[in-house]
Each structure stands twice: as C-alpha cells, then as structure tokens.
Amino acid sequence: SLLLFALVLLLTAECLRARRPRSFPPGPRAFPLVGNMFSLDPGDVHGDMTKLSEKYGKVYSLKMGPSWTVVLNGLSALQEGLTKGDHLNDRPEFPIHSDVLFYTHCIIFSNGHMWKQQRRFALFTLKYFGVGKKSLEFSILDEFMYISKEIANHKGKPFNPHLIMNNAVSNIICSLVFGHRFEYGNEKFLKMMKLFDKGSQIELYNAFPVLMRRLPGPHHALQNIYGEIMDLIKTEVNQHKEDWNPSEPRDFIDCYLNEIQKVDAGFNEDNLVMCGFDLFGAGSHTTSVTLRWALLYMTKYPEVQAKVQAEIDEVVGTSRQPSMEDRADLPYTDAVIHEIQRMGNIVPLSLPHVTTRDIRLGGYKIPKGVTIIPNLTSVLFDKNEWETPDAFNPGHFLNPEGKFVKRAAFIPFSAGKRVCLGENLARMELFLFFTSFMQRFSFSTPPGVEPVLKPRFGVTLSPPPFEICATPRKE
C-alpha cells in the first residue's frame, strides 16, 4: 500500500507538472510524463509544429517529455526572438554532448565566452583560407573536375550520386580543415562517412535521454562511433604536429595549433578535435544533401533544367568553368538554387536555442532556461510570404523583369548571432557545383522511374535514395 501511495503521489506531481505555467504561451494539452511528445508525427514533426501555429499562434508552447519548450513560427516571431538582443544566443544542454562527447567544446554545443571565442576564430580562419576568395573558388572548381570524371564514367547509365556527392563536398571542408582532399573511395574517408551516418541516432538520444540511457540498444554504440571519429581527427592533428611550421599555417588545424601556444584555456587539443568534428559534421552532409535535392528537382522539372542550361550557355559558354563573378549575370540559375534550398528545407527546425534570462516574446513571459525551437519551415512555406508556397517556383526569387530578388523569408541558414557559420561557404559551394553540373551534364531519372520528392527525416531532411542518369552535354 506504501508503493501505491508513492505511485499516486508521483502521478499527482506529474499531472501538476503537465499544467502549463501561468503567463506561458498557449498550446495543446500536455499529458503527464510524455507531455506532447506523441502528438507529433516523428516523420513530419516540423509539419505538425507548423499546423499547431494555426491554432495556437506564432508563439506557442509544448511539453517535450519533462520540459516545456516554446516554438517560434513565422518571420516576425523568429526575428523578434533571434535577432533582437542576445537573450536567445545559448544552446540548451544536449544529452549527446554530456554523455557521449564529454563536454568538449567548439562551436555548435558551446555557450557564452567559449562559444564567442571559438566561433570568431573559426569564422576568421575559414575566411583566411579562402571563404569568399578566388583560392577556394579554384578548389571547388578543381573538385568538380574529379566528380565530373566519376559521373562521366557511368556513361549515361543510372547511378546513385549519394557517396560521390558526399565525397566531393566533404573534400572542400577537408581541404580547409585538414589541408588535403580524399580520393573517392578512400577507406579512411568512407569509414568516417559511415560513422557519421550511424551517429544519426543522436536525434532519438537527445529527445529521450533519460529513457535512452537506461534502455539497451544500438544507441549505446554511439560512444564508440564518436570515439572512432574523434580518433580519426586526432590522427590528422598528430600528423600536422609532425611537420607544422607556426609561421606558415597551411589550414585550420595549423592555425589552431598556433592558438594553443598562446596559453588560453579555451584553445586546447581536445577542443581542436571537437572543432574538426563540428566543421566536418555541420559542413559536409548539409551541402551534399542540398546538391542531391538540386539534381532530383532538375529531373522532376526538366523545363527548369533546360532554362538554367540555356542561361549558363549564354553567359558562361562552354569553354571555361563558371565563376562566382557570373552569379550576378545568372539571375534565373540563382533563383533556382534558392528555390531548391527553400523547398529542400533541410534543417526544418534549425537547432534549438535556450533563454538566458526571463524574457518577453510575442507578448508572453518566458522564464530563463526554456528551450526555444525556431521553426524555419513555418517561414519557408508561409502562405503570407510566398506566392505559391508548396510549389517549386523559381519565380519566388525573380521580379517581373527577370532580375534576382532577395526575400527576407528565405532563412534556411536561420538568423541572428547563431546563424549558420558556414553560410558563405555553403553558398559558394552550391553555386559553383550546381552551375558546373548544369554546364556539363543533363540529368534525368532512369527510364520509367518517377522522381520521389518526399523527404526522409533524419539529422536533416534528405531525399530518399535515388538513381540518376547523367548525359554529358557538348564540350
């Protein structure tokens, strides 16, 4: 009977905790223990969250397991939250960070001084090694020559572009961080990619940490998987230390080793390895997924592909590779890239933020320590922002004269101080790879196969596995 009494007491406490705190944003009724967790379709969480805003407003709250979370929807709520002041600059604690990565710090998981310091250093160093400069442009165009050879080897026959696209895109971040590229099919590289793919169970782990820590299952292998990735990066660091010349830094690792000499606690070898992990993790999969969406959309809309090719033929021709300077003269192509990113919506809920003090948002009081989810989907598909939000329409980024127009609601990289650190790098890669693909090949689905545009929900929204045919265009 004592057990029963304790159970009743526990349940009553849970029922009380499931009651929305006063002055908190409204939201659907939360259940004891699970909150609103099971009211969201795991395959379409962002879609369900967007629908909820129609009923509960642009700023509403949900109980995710034991904690209350506030979801921001629509451009003005996101701007109010992310760009005005610094009260949302922090990340909540990610269980994966404490349990598996042992609190090592770089950018994605860190807060306060550590985050500012590491982010500033990473941005400066990436710029130093060419983000926005000709040298990086050449590396990207050079990498395209490798991937185009691989593609041409398929001689127009169907192939799955997943691995080589990953390889090509990752080589850009590898060159910046490690100072070298990997040959396609390189064992060490394939292992790293495989490990990152396996590590995608982090979503589940972060969502249900208490449960996952106790339940048996494959997620317990995460520690080993991340350990192996860290070891691979450590090997790169050790190789650098052997022939590193402080006066001639070759890449990010060399610059970081220089910084460690300056005796600042924030810069040490563990954090360097974590930085390699952050940059590689955030910078390869995202851009590669976007490029795969690009190819898939071109097979779905061959008339758009033909128009892009005609524009490139006219402005760039076939005797030279495209360059960043061509972008201003390729408004239709630029609009298509933006529309692919809008429809691809690869990071639909951005990354979570947390309130650093009691704040007012959307007219509600939100206490310190509440997780905030910026729902990017609600902005990228807002019917008040886009003429045809659910249709692939490059016209969203063109004025009646056919000139490219920027749209405030285009926020696939999020906004504010935590905005994607690799935005400029990603934009360069997307533009140069995409225009080069369109200049050299025409893409189509294998005969009789319809392109499937329904995304798979994982670390990002990615296209389901697909095969594609690439027909070389005239030289």
Residues that bind ligand HEM in the complex, under the rule CB under 6 A:
107-108, 119, 173, 278-279, 282-283, 286-287, 290, 346-347, 350-351, 374, 412-414, 418-422, 425-426
| Inter-residue contact 296 to 451 (CB < 8 Å) | yes
CA dist 242 and 245 (Å) reads 9
Q: Which residues 6+ apart lie within 8 Å of 30 measured at CB? A: 18, 19, 20, 36, 62, 63
State the number of CA atoms in the 13 A half-sphere of 262 facing the CB.
9
Least distance to ligand HEM from the beta carbon of 112, Å? 12
Cβ proximity to ligand HEM: between 201 and 286 the closer is 286
Least distance to ligand HEM from the beta carbon of 9, Å? 39
Give me the residue label for tokens 């099971």.
38
Least distance to ligand HEM from the beta carbon of 154, Å? 25
Cβ proximity to ligand HEM: between 309 and 377 the closer is 377
Tokens, residue 35? 């909150």
Instruction: Give all strands (DSSP E) within 1-138, no chain letters.
Output: 59-64, 67-72
For residue 121, which of 269, 236, 255 has the smallest C-alpha distance? 255
Least distance to ligand HEM from the beta carbon of 414, Å? 3
Cβ proximity to ligand HEM: between 314 and 423 the closer is 423
Cβ proximity to ligand HEM: between 201 and 414 the closer is 414
Q: Which residues 6+ apart lie within 8 Å of 3 measured at CB? A: none
Least distance to ligand HEM from the beta carbon of 349, Å? 9
φ, ψ of residue 78 in degrees (nearest 5): -65, -40
Give me the residue label for tokens 């749209």.
407
- Per this entry, what is the length of the chain? 475
Residue in the shown chain whose Cβ atom is closest to ligand HEM: 422
CA dist 154 and 437 (Å) reads 15
Least distance to ligand HEM from the beta carbon of 122, Å? 7
| Inter-residue contact 122 to 131 (CB < 8 Å) | no
CA dist 350 and 327 (Å) reads 27
Cβ proximity to ligand HEM: between 252 and 469 the closer is 252
Q: Is 15 known as a binding-site position?
A: no
Least distance to ligand HEM from the beta carbon of 278, Å? 5
Cβ proximity to ligand HEM: between 330 and 373 the closer is 373
Cβ proximity to ligand HEM: between 232 and 420 the closer is 420
Query: Do β-strands 461-462 and 456-457 pair in parallel, antiparallel, or remain unpaired?
Result: antiparallel
Least distance to ligand HEM from the beta carbon of 220, Å? 27
> Percentage helix, strand, coil, to 5, in the chain?
55, 10, 40
What are the residue ranges of helices labelled H in 86-221? 95-99, 112-128, 134-153, 162-177, 187-198, 202-207, 209-214
Cβ proximity to ligand HEM: between 351 and 452 the closer is 351
Q: What is the DSSP letter of 35?
A: B
- Residues at the binding site are 420
Q: Which residues are annotated as a binding site for heme?
A: 420
